[in-house]
Structure 1
Amino acid sequence: MEGKNIAAEQEEHALSCAGCGIHIQTIDKTKPGFTPKSALEREVIICQRCFKIKHYNEVSPVDMSDDDFLRILNGIGGTKSLVVMVVDVFDFQGSWLRGLPRFVGNNPILLVGNKVDLLPKNINLNRVRNWIQHEAKERGLRSEDVLLVSAQKGAGIEELLARIGQLRKGRDVYIVGVTNVGKSTLINRILHDYGAADLEITTSPFPGTTLDKIEIPLEDGRYIYDTPGIINRDQIGHMVTPADLRALTPQSRINPKVYQLNAGQSMFIGGLARVDFVSGDHQPFVLYVANQLYLHRTKLENADEVFAKHHGTLLVPPNGENGKTLPPMMKHTFKIEPNGPTDLVISGLGWVALQGKKPASVVVHAPKGVSVGVRKGLI
């Protein structure tokens, strides 16, 4: 009898969740990979966590460290494969996978900018592509090509598949990136377009949905591998509750908000960040953030008082009643020179564009640990 139990456990261990890649187990409900034994009879097996995400949008946190994810990615360098690195065009800095060369070894890299459907309609996509290529080189990454896609809408998928076919040369394909850049959504789009939607991978806006490497077989016996996302902890999304994360994550095409500011005025982006126009001539500040975020303009001299009084009520997210306490706000001071379009970027939240025609002194307040910086204007 004991031998049969051991054999059953070994058989379960050989199974992986089709949604997140974790090894299936039926013993401990509190551990990753749990699924009821009755679910093992299904053609496509998913763990209970993936089932709750898919059907109830309910997320159970999983205790996995950064080392667990890095261990999975470290094996790529020892393979002969094509590496497809996915970045979020809306949050390029926050979605950049640092140190990629040490993971991939000598394998070629195809760089894919996802979520292009979130960018304003009037944007020149060729310029965006060239901008991404330039930014990648500045970070020491030499890619075979740069493509723009929308995994959500299906735009650019045919071109991507054709380019993967040209570059992989009979090798496996690894899809890599940080959390929430849309890797799994991208693979689901590929599966759907090729009539294999029953193999759907679990997706959600929450970090760490994919827990282990997921194998998708190709016709020539090779595989596409969806890998767990590395967590960039300098993104603001890792500091808020799931409800607040939905509020700050763009759900549709961004509508830029233009504010004509004078020196001595401040802009609040919900209760998540604040931009102070300290000195300079009257000029436009264009905010590229999720459409549903509340924006509030006030005098700089009143800004501290407004924040103290209304944070979590008028200035939301975060939601004061059920919200998560954010780290203290830190100041980031920038001198904007008249050298052309300039973006002030808040990792995971969006950016504020200045024309760069007039000098300006600007202070950005963001929770401690959130990356804030300046870049050449994207738009």
Structure 2
Amino acid sequence: MEEPFVSPDEPLQCAGCGVAIQTEDKTKQGYAPVSALSRDVVICQRCYRIKHYNEVAPVDMEDDDFLRILNGIGATDSLVVMVVDIFDFQGSWLRGLPRFVGNNPILLVGNKVDLLPRSINPNRVRNWMQHEAKQLGLRPVDVVLVSAVKGQGIDELLQRVGELRRGRDVYIVGVTNVGKSTLINRIIHDYGSAGVEITTSPFPGTTLDKIEIPLDDGRFIYDTPGIINRDQIGHMVTPQDLRKLTPISRVNPKTYQLNDRQSLFIGGLARIDYVSGERQPFVVYVANALPIHRTKLEKADELMAKHHGELLAPPVGEAVKLLPPFTRHTLKIESAGPVDIVISGLGWVTLQGKQKAILEVHVPKGVGVAVRKALI
């Protein structure tokens, strides 16, 4: 009979998610069979299942655990790299970051640039991110655009990290699902580190504890767990539906000419009512797989009642019952320029903003809705 694994003074960590390895309780995080300990690279059973079977496993890490790790950064002398999802900028924003990192400089990285339309100017995106960051109380030392999946912009990122860190450690931070682990795997590949591959998946909470990646000068890159922004709609749907609302390829905008008293449904996850205003285009930026339905405002309630989970999907079938009840957000658009109506974790709808308009946005309770300066 094999002896149970006993942690040494320095606990063995899962190379995929950073959690301490244990061999005694299959129901607890960090479990790995004793036979796995003889491998060159040890990962926990949860990471093994995500990597090989694309399974999702629940985690019991609380917000306080994430905050504890982030709070420690302020006591260090390091470079902080904050990763956001360009396609879900507001939804992926790490709130209150300056109070966690102290006086450490912050490099802002916009990931998933490959999802934006080809016609958009990268310099415009950088300037827009600088503007939005300032509005949210952050003044980054620079902005870099990347696609971790495609490898786009990684050379520029590595160059800026090398210039800005000045021999210091690097902490990479962000909320769940911004592609942090995929990005770090790219960096590891370029640095030539062997025996490390951080677990990646489309599901929130993949990294469970701080992961250390050694650099040539004796310093480290630290991958920190992603904090969950609970106003993102992705945390309210099933894993199957999450795959449908998460863009995996360049988003094709869909334009609808709307008169007032018309409504747009984005699957069965959101509804936008054009209450009053002149006829104008509504340009929808969401995952290509999500169906859009247009109807008269007077018929919208009936359509929702009869077809939610069927014609209006995702969510599909019984998953409708998992969603919180829908709440209404009234928006008055008075801007002289284009604006985006943002639904956290789902996407946005652009209006030209040439005339006043009143909209009502219906989303599951707790999902963030905001108006911002148009990205495109």
- Match in the other structure for 1:26: 23
- Match in the other structure for 1:112: 109
Residues 197 and 320 of structure 1, relative CA distance in 2, 3 Å threshold:
farther
**SS of the residue 2:159 aligns to:** helix
In the alignment, structure 1 segments of 5+ residues that lack a partner are none
Q: Aligned residue pairs: how many?
A: 375
Listed one character per residue, the Cα deviations across residues 256-310 of structure 1 (whole Å, up to 9, x for unaligned) are 0000111111000000000111111111000000000011111100000000000
In the alignment, structure 1 residue 192 sits paired with structure 2 residue 189: yes
- Alpha-carbon separation, structure 1, partners of 2:99 and 2:156: 28
- Alpha-carbon separation, structure 2, partners of 1:197 and 1:359: 57
Post-superposition offset of 1:13: 6.4
1:364 to 339, 358, 361: 361
Large movers: runs of 4+ above 6 Å: none
After TM superposition, list the pairs within 5 Å mapping 1:115-134 onto structure 2.
115-134=112-131
- Match in the other structure for 2:176: 179
- Match in the other structure for 1:135: 132
Q: Is the 1:13–1:25 contact (alpha carbons within 8 Å) kept by the matching residues of 2? A: no
Post-superposition offset of 1:12: 8.9
In the alignment, structure 1 residue 95 sits paired with structure 2 residue 71: no
Q: Is the 1:250–1:290 contact (alpha carbons within 8 Å) kept by the matching residues of 2? A: yes
- Match in the other structure for 2:233: 236
In the alignment, structure 2 segments of 5+ residues that lack a partner are none
1:285 to 274, 282, 285: 282
- Alpha-carbon separation, structure 2, partners of 1:333 and 1:88: 26
- Match in the other structure for 1:66: 63
In the alignment, structure 1 residue 226 sits paired with structure 2 residue 215: no
**SS of the residue 1:77 aligns to:** helix
> What amino acid does structure 2 have at the position aligned with 1:232?
N
Q: Is the 2:231–2:368 contact (alpha carbons within 8 Å) kept by the matching residues of 1? A: yes
- Match in the other structure for 2:162: 165
Listed one character per residue, the Cα deviations across residues 190-217 of structure 1 (whole Å, up to 9, x for unaligned) are 1223344641100111111100000000
- Match in the other structure for 1:336: 333
Structure 1 range deviating more: 26-35 or 193-202? 193-202
Residues 132 and 58 of structure 1, relative CA distance in 2, 3 Å threshold:
same
- Alpha-carbon separation, structure 1, partners of 2:139 and 2:282: 33
The share of aligned pairs that are identical, in percent, is 75
**SS of the residue 1:160 aligns to:** helix
Q: Is the 1:13–1:24 contact (alpha carbons within 8 Å) kept by the matching residues of 2? A: no
Structure 1 range deviating more: 335-344 or 214-223? 335-344
- Alpha-carbon separation, structure 1, partners of 2:314 and 2:175: 23
Query: Considering only aligned residues, what root-mean-square deviation do their CA atoms show, in Å?
Result: 1.5
Post-superposition offset of 1:316: 0.5
- Match in the other structure for 1:211: 208
Q: Is the 2:262–2:274 contact (alpha carbons within 8 Å) kept by the matching residues of 1? A: yes
Q: Is the 1:83–1:108 contact (alpha carbons within 8 Å) kept by the matching residues of 2? A: yes
> What amino acid does structure 1 have at the position aligned with 2:93?
W
2:7 to 6, 10, 19: 10
